[in-house]
Chains A and B, each alone.
Chain A
Amino acid sequence: MAELPHVIAIGASAGGVTALRRLLGALRPPFAAAVVVVLHIRESTVDALVGVLARDCRLPVVEALAGERIEAGRVHLAPGNYHLLIERDGCFALSVDDRVHHARPSVDVLFASAADACGARLTGVVLTGSNDDGAQGLAAIRARGGTALVQAPHEAEAPQMPAAALRIAGADATLPLDDIALRLNQAFHA
């Protein structure tokens, strides 16, 4: 079986659309890692969001489908009203289990499964948001040897989520969005 690509798992909530447009829009192809995004949304579909992000993003943006393999060079977006998980064989799985931090999809659920599936070949990124989702998951990522990046809370539209991540998990780096993009391009833009 083909080896899993390095995975960049990104979680965002309030203020997330603007932050994601900026961060994802700065990533340059060819890009050697797979990007997986959980954004808290009220809508039950992400069709519109895929369109919005695709406008600014040079990597293809797709909705993550159950059973589909995660692919380097793509941005996979969690569907609305389902948790998104990564299985160890590198395929996506969905669930309608209870909300976590009032959210489905939940960043913690993605991060915990990604940590289990990817180990050290994983970068977790916590962006703007006004709840604590993502903090426990980021701790799980670090416990498995993955890298943790957190948006600088002073720059975030809603600082609570990055602040909670720093409090509970800590981070390998706390950076403004543009520097997160720079760092990811340095590591994965071939």
Chain B
Amino acid sequence: MTMPAAPRDLEDIELDLLLEALHQRFGYDFGGYARASLRRRVQNLLIHTGVANISQLTERVLHGGVPITEVVDQLSVPVSEFFRDPPSFATMLRLVFPLLASYPHINVWQAGCARGEEVYSLAILLEEAGLYERTRIWATDISEKSLALAREGIYPARELPQYADSYRLAGGRHSFSDYFHARYGHIKLDDALKRNVTFAPHNLAADGVFCETQLILCRNVLIYFQPPLQQRALALFADSLVRGGFLCLGEKESMSRHEIRERFTLLDRRAALYRRNPSAHG
């Protein structure tokens, strides 16, 4: 007998067909994403695009009525905030920055940069530490729309007081307001902060290593992946990091359930900060 808790209902079939269409037609594979959040996002997408059900959405996407960029953006991106989880930034300043300083050229990979809030947060802290001049930040995301918005660097000002607090708690030495212009309820980040940032599309479910980095930030991205896709992303990070390089995950993320943990040493649990082991096999 079919359990009432897990019926193969119409919506499940429709969701599978949508994901299959996105994969086959556009090359975006959301099959490894955690389902509960994905279902919620698809429901929001229906409201956003004004279609009645998932099948109609699939039809509209396949025939160009709804742009694929819009679908990918809605299915992939949560808006972030500046200096989210300030203690993690403070820990990075203390444990990671002094070691970054030992390199003549520094590569940082921000994986899943969404609208760019963390990219600018990091650029500011690197600038204040005197490291930014020799740093290149590779800011990647699956969503082209998000990357375009991240490049613009314009954000609503309504959460500004909280950002200013977080900036200080993260270890900022000046004032967050030194780094943007406020206008019409929005802030525009200083263009100079972008001078060493490369925004580029990269899909953690499909793409490979593209540079050698000393630090990777990937915060609150793995929580949306099922374990096999988490493992794939973590292996990609291990292969991209120099020996002794650093990986910072979200505060509620951990690699404790993955074999890949053997290639890393946990430096700080609260900040989910890991260091790639220096061994030849690491």
Interface residues of A (CB under 8 A from B): 4, 44, 65-67, 79, 82-83, 85-88, 93-98, 109, 112-113, 116-121, 145
Contact = CB atoms under 8 A, between A and B. Distances in A.
Contact of B220 (A93, A96, A113): A96
Contacts of A113: 36, 39-40
B85 A93 contact: no
B234 to A, nearest CB: 13
Contacts of B80: 96
Given A66-B223, A94-B252, A96-B80, A119 B40 contact: no
Contacts of A85: 36-37, 40
Contacts of B7: 119
B78 A98 contact: yes
B139 to A, nearest CB: 18
Contacts of A121: 5
Nearest to A87: B36
Contacts of B4: 119-120, 145
B257 A67 contact: yes
Interface size class of B (residues with CB under 8 A): 20 to 34
Interface in B6-64: 6-7, 34-37, 39-41
A123 B85 CA distance: 33
Nearest to B86: A44
A119 B3 contact: yes
Contact of B40 (A109, A120, A145): A109
A72 to B, nearest CB: 15
25 contacts: A44-B85, A65-B252, A66-B223, A85-B36, A85-B37, A86-B36, A87-B34, A87-B36, A88-B5, A88-B6, A88-B35, A93-B34, A93-B36, A93-B37, A94-B223, A96-B78, A96-B220, A96-B223, A113-B40, A116-B39, A117-B36, A118-B5, A119-B3, A119-B6, A120-B5
Interface pairs A-B: 5 shortest CB-CB:
A119-B5, A85-B36, A113-B36, A119-B4, A95-B37
Contacts of A66: 223, 252-253
B158 to A, nearest CB: 12
B141 to A, nearest CB: 15
Contacts of A79: 252
Contacts of A86: 36
Nearest to A97: B78
A133 to B, nearest CB: 15
Nearest to B230: A67
Contacts, number: 64
A122 to B, nearest CB: 8
Given A82-B252, A87-B36, A109-B40, A95 B224 contact: yes
Contacts of A145: 4
Contacts of B79: 98
B244 interface: no
- Give the residue among A65, A116, A121 with the most B Cβ atoms within 10 A: A116
- Give the residue among B37, B39, B250 with the most A Cβ atoms within 10 A: B37
Contacts of B224: 95
Contacts of A65: 252
B208 interface: no
Contacts of A95: 37, 40, 78, 223-224
Contacts of A82: 223, 252
A120 B5 CA distance: 7
Interface string B53-84: 00000000000000000000000001110000
B227 interface: yes
B40 A93 contact: no
A4 B224 CA distance: 22
- Give the residue among A95, A96, A113, A119 with the most B Cβ atoms within 10 A: A96
